């Protein structure tokens, strides 16, 4: 008989907190909310209803083929005004700035709920999660000047990347602490890291499926090619190479990213990312949990497969359980450090709305290399 699953981990917070003081009397929120059996049954019933009618296969294939265009369109519309900088990062993921003073840049995970997630559902999207090495226009020239042997053109870049890696000469090759964010969007994780982590040995890579998103990062005044390398990458294409070699990264970040990928491709992607980690390196994830408000809001005809939906703008989203994520990471050979569910209650008194959010946060570590 199979061993029983561990009881779900939950965030050890129990405080009520308020959002922006300007909205003090409009929007309250509580974290670590326990759901009643009736509430969970109601959520399950809504999901059964909205997934009872699947999109035809030809439409599903169209969303997969045109995924890049939908994300490019998304960033052309919203540019960098959609997501808020994530100052909660360093409380939840101190691995991103190991030497940071806790009083720096923000306070706690509470900022995360107020500023980011309560904003995004009205617009119908989350973080983008696909990632193809291509040349970037003017800013890429700066990268070429500051980093030897960086080529232009997608095929040329991939060939040049392979040559550089063999020579031990690639972007960030001299760094002592390397971070990769997959699905970087407009840079709302990358720039807080660069601002907060002052380690001279730090180098941050960031990639996105959307050319428009990477352009936004590279054209940001805070983009520093000596500390950061932004590139377009199709994570679902296992023939598309990374600019860094295997076992070179200390941290890989996946924030509302894996949920945007076709479920049957997720395991291959996690396997690829795990190979990039040094022994002892970690994958950090924050993503949508099963029965989150966003899942319950979908209407019939928007479901692609179990717990996988398409939004009105053509972008897609999956809603995870802890067990599913644990299976993905452990199958890739990683060890669990953290896998917790975070349930929130947000009350917008101005609109008389009650919103239940469900997110999952994970940390998985690559085992140390065996001693000779």
DSSP secondary structure, 283-334, as one string: EEEEEEBTT-HHHHTPPTT-EEETTEEE-TTS-EEE-B-HHHHHHHHHHTTP
For residue 207, the model assigns a pLDDT of 94
- Among 321, 291, 254, 279, smallest CA distance to 89 is for 254
* Mean pLDDT across 282-305: 94
Please state at what angle helix 211-218 crosses helix 138-146, rounded to 10 degrees: 60
Neighbour-count burial for 219-252, b at 16+ CB within 10 Å, e otherwise: ebeebebebbbbbbbbbbeeebbbbbbeebbbbb
Its CATH class, for the domain covering 27-96+170-366, is alpha beta
How confident is the model over 209-266, as pLDDT tens digits?
888 889 989 999 999 999 999 999 988 888 888 999 999 999 999 999 999 999 999 9
In a 3-state reduction of DSSP, which class is residue 53? coil
Which H/E stretch holds residue 180? strand 177-182
- Residue 169: is its pLDDT beyond 90? no
The residue with greater pLDDT, 8 or 127, is 8
Cite the DSSP H helix spans in the chain. 37-50, 57-65, 67-78, 89-92, 110-112, 118-123, 138-146, 154-167, 190-196, 211-218, 266-276, 293-296, 322-331
pTM for this prediction:
0.76
> In the chain, what are the domain boundaries?
27-96+170-366
- Residue 130: is its pLDDT beyond 90? no
For residue 122, the model assigns a pLDDT of 33
Distance CA 230, CA 232 (A): 7
For residue 20, the model assigns a pLDDT of 39
How confident is the model over 309-351, as pLDDT tens digits?
988 888 889 999 999 999 999 999 999 999 999 888 877 777 6
């Amino acid at each position: 008989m199979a061993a029983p699953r561990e009881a779900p981990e939950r965030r050890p917070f129990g405080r009520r907190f308020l959002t922006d003081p300007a909205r003090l009397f409009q929007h309250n929120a509580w974290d670590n909310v326990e759901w009643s059996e009736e509430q969970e049954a109601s959520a399950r019933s809504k999901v059964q209803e909205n997934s009872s009618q699947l999109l035809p296969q030809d439409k599903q294939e169209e969303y997969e083929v045109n995924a890049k265009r939908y994300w490019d369109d998304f960033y052309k519309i919203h540019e960098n005004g959609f997501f808020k900088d994530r100052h909660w990062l360093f409380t939840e993921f101190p691995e991103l700035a190991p030497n940071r003073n806790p009083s720096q840049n923000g306070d706690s995970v509470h900022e995360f709920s107020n500023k980011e997630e309560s904003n995004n559902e009205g617009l119908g999207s989350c973080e983008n999660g696909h990632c193809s090495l291509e040349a970037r226009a003017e800013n890429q020239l700066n990268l070429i000047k500051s980093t030897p042997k960086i080529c232009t053109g997608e095929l040329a870049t991939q060939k040049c990347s392979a040559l550089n890696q063999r020579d031990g000469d690639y972007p960030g090759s001299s760094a002592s602490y390397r971070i990769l964010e997959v699905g970087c969007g407009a840079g709302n994780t990358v720039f807080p890291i660069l601002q907060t982590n002052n380690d001279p040995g730090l180098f941050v890579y960031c990639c996105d499926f959307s050319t428009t998103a990477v352009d936004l990062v590279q054209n940001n005044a805070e983009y520093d090619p000596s500390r950061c390398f932004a590139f377009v990458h199709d994570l679902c294409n296992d023939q598309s190479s990374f600019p860094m070699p295997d076992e070179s990264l200390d941290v890989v970040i996946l924030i509302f990213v894996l949920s945007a990928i076709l479920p049957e491709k997720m395991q291959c992607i996690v396997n690829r990312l795990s190979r990039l980690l040094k022994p002892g390196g970690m994958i950090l994830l924050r993503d949508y949990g099963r029965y989150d408000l966003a899942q319950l809001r979908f209407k019939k005809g928007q479901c692609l497969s179990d717990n996988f939906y398409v939004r009105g703008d053509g972008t897609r989203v999956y809603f995870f359980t802890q067990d599913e994520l644990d299976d993905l990471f452990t199958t890739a050979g990683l060890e669990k450090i953290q896998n917790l569910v975070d349930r929130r209650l947000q009350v917008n008194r101005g609109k008389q709305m009650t919103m239940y959010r469900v997110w999952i946060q994970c940390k998985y570590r690559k085992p140390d290399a065996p001693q000779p």
